[in-house]
Amino acid sequence: MPANLASIRERARVLLQGICHVCPVCDGRRCPTGVPGMGGIGTGAAFRNNIAALAAYQVNLRVLHDRKDQNLGLRLFGQKLAFPILGAAVAGARVNFQGRLAEAELARAFVQGAAEAGSLACTGDGPVPELIDAGLQAIAGAGGRGIPVIKPREDTEIINLIRRAEAAGAPAVAIDVDAAGLVNMTRAGQLVEPKTVAQIAGLARGTSLPLILKGIMTVADARAAVDGGAAAIVVSNHGGRALDHTPGTAAVLPAIAAAVGEKLIVLADGGVRSGVDVLKMLALGARAVLVGRPLAIAALGGGPAGVKLQLEALADDLAVAMRLTGCGDLGDIGPQVLCGQYLDFVRSKLSTLAK
């Protein structure tokens, strides 16, 4: 098995030939119509916007301070995590990766690799049962160290899948509400739909697990999630794979976090490629981040060991970024570490919407 990230990426490049270029900078420019595959939907603008929104912020270098030791640990959904970086849900190996990795192997790589690194990974759902089955089996096999993400199906189907998540020992369960328009589900004859506040409330009451809503991109939807009793949200545009021309998540995260961040847990994904990107998302109001494409490449090229190595590399990079911005622990990270074109907006939103 490859022993370093360079060899893992090279192995993944060979396995993914014709699907993903495994670019040195994963920014969507060479795969604008890669669905199925690794790219964004339509023009790929939403994928690229995630990268651009993060790049619009710069980081203030600070080295005259006493924060010599960096503590990246936190508790999330009752779990002790080594760092605030989780695996995002990546599924559909038969379609997206043309079967070059079995669904069960993909799910296990994410869940087991994240667990061994001291974190959690999400698992996916889709039009064929093997996707949700593989994820739940991987979670059960890792002692419950994973979060299943369920499509916004009919409520009775969601409850049935939540029961299976409970049985697998999952610490939380998620619904990727931004999958309400996915054609691969409707073409397979499976209903996916937008959810009302009343529906979310019914689902939240139907389980003792924290309910996470993934795919929140506006303050209005974030407040609706609060009203529905969600325990957490993920600010996400589905990796640019749901709706073309949506903004990058880092552009909308500050307003959402300021509006609801005291009422539920705010997570974020979209374009995170380095520990500095993690730092930026945390400074903008996220409690933790989810990472998808880099871990998918690591899983293809190195299995669970590859995922573990990629997560640990991101965490190491985050620790350096924290030290060089004067942050000793996650609680020190705030808007003061940032500069850039959105900074005045961030500060104004944090001071007004949070009131």
Q: Catalytic pick from 21, 65, 238, 245?
A: 238
Please confirm, yes or no, whether 65 is among the known catalytic residues: no
- The pair of structure tokens assigned to 285 is 């109001």
Task: Please give, one letter per residue, the 3-state secondary structure of 177-220.
Answer: HHHCCCHHHHHCCCCCCCCCHHHHHHHHHCCCCCEEEEEECCHH
Catalytic residue positions, numbered = 238
